[in-house]
Amino acid sequence: MDDTVLSLRDARLTLDGNAGPVEILHGITLSVRRGETLGLVGPSGSGKSSLLMVMGGLDRATGGEIRALGQDLSAMNEDRLARFRRDNMGVVFQSFHLIPTMTAIENVA
């Protein structure tokens, strides 16, 4: 039985910049198994957040393959991807953008 929960094969992310295309992720290949802990470290601007966004299906890779729980994230349309994230992933963002005059429950609502 394969206990891989997340895998990337030659994952790439290229964005358009003012001076032309900027390659953010350069062919990342990794596999995360059930129960395994992963830490991403690197200097500011090295692509850590971009990698997490691609891994979570919040940004689309421009190349390679991203699979979560055996499903190809790049093959899903936006609605299916949103349902998959809702049912299978938890995402905690760096900036919460909460409204300080509201309670936590009101912010979530």
The CATH number covering residue 26 comes to: 3.40.50.300
What gap in Å lies between CA 109 and CA 99, rounded to an integer? 12
The whole-number pLDDT of residue 1 equals 62
What gap in Å lies between CA 58 and CA 55, rounded to an integer? 8
Q: For residue 11, which of 47, 57, 62, 68 has the smallest C-alpha distance?
A: 62
Kindly report, residue by residue over 63-97, the tens digit of the pLDDT.
999 999 999 999 999 999 999 999 999 877 766 67
The whole-number pLDDT of residue 97 equals 77
Query: In sequence order, which residues have a C-beta less than 8 Å from that of residue 58 and are 6 or more positions away?
Result: 85, 91
Segments forming the whole domain that contains residue 80: 4-108
Give the count of domains, the chain: 1
What percentage of the chain has pLDDT greater than the value 90? 75
